[in-house]
Amino acid sequence: MYLKMYINLYNVFERDEERTKCEIWVNQECLEQVNEIVYLGSAFSRDGRCDLDVDRRVAAGNKVNGALTALVKRQGVAKSARLAMHNAVLVPTLLYGRETWVCQKKHKSKLNAVEMRSLRKMCGVTMADRKRNEEIRNMAGLKDDLITKIDKGVLRWFGHVERMSEDRMVKKIYSAKV
């Protein structure tokens, strides 16, 4: 028995802001070096910022909004069912991987815009109606906005890391000194 590798499925990703050439050879074939990579649904770039991952979440959220539009605008669908679809499909799509993000104002603004677009459709409110986001959230019956959920997720992850034993790799990386 032996391990068979399909070389065309593997890439080399080096997390470093300085551009260096990293050559890894397997069976006389050089693996391709890439600047960004998607691993377990999260996107990583050389500079370590979360811009790429947030942009992917926004694009995925827009796709979900498009897919749910027909259901949300249908007259016979109850408001509670619309809200359940919003909370079960759109919110997790937007928030996947949020625990590791260092969110800037521009990221929060993009994510919030996707959520508000969905809520406006759900409540039958257009931009021309000039309703504030808080009013629309109240109409939909939501307590927390997306930004609060992001912050809570980050704090929840921080609590997990703080409680981890010192021999766990995540805790070692978190506690490392340069």
The confidence score (pLDDT) of residue 79 equals 87
- Residue 82, Cβ density class (10 Å: 0-12 exposed, 13-18 middle, ≥19 buried): buried
Q: What secondary structure letter does DSSP report for 37?
A: E
In terms of domains, do 71 and 136 share one?
A: yes
Yes or no: say if 116 and 61 are a contact pair by the CB < 8 Å rule.
no
Q: Which domain holds residue 99?
A: 48-145
Structurally, the chain folds into a number of domains equal to: 2
The answer to whether residue 132 is domain-embedded is: yes
- CA 27 – CA 11 distance, rounded (Å): 15
In terms of domains, do 56 and 140 share one?
A: yes
The answer to whether residue 34 is domain-embedded is: yes
The confidence score (pLDDT) of residue 3 equals 58
User: What mean pLDDT is predicted for residues 10-37?
Assistant: 74
Choose among 100, 102, 94, 104: nearest CA to 161.
100
The confidence score (pLDDT) of residue 17 equals 64
The answer to whether residue 168 is domain-embedded is: no
Per DSSP, what are the bridge partners of residue 34? 13
The answer to whether residue 169 is domain-embedded is: no
The answer to whether residue 174 is domain-embedded is: no
The answer to whether residue 152 is domain-embedded is: no
The confidence score (pLDDT) of residue 1 equals 55
In terms of domains, do 27 and 57 share one?
A: no
- pLDDT tens per residue, range 36-89: 878 788 888 877 788 889 999 999 999 999 999 888 878 888 888 989 999 999
In terms of domains, do 63 and 141 share one?
A: yes
Task: Report the 3 state secondary structure along 47-106.
Answer: CCCCHHHHHHHHHHHHHHHHHHHHHHHCCCCCHHHHHHHHHHHHHHHHHCCHHHCCCCHH
The answer to whether residue 21 is domain-embedded is: yes
The confidence score (pLDDT) of residue 88 equals 94
Yes or no: say if 34 and 12 are a contact pair by the CB < 8 Å rule.
yes
The confidence score (pLDDT) of residue 106 equals 95
In terms of domains, do 24 and 67 share one?
A: no
The confidence score (pLDDT) of residue 125 equals 92
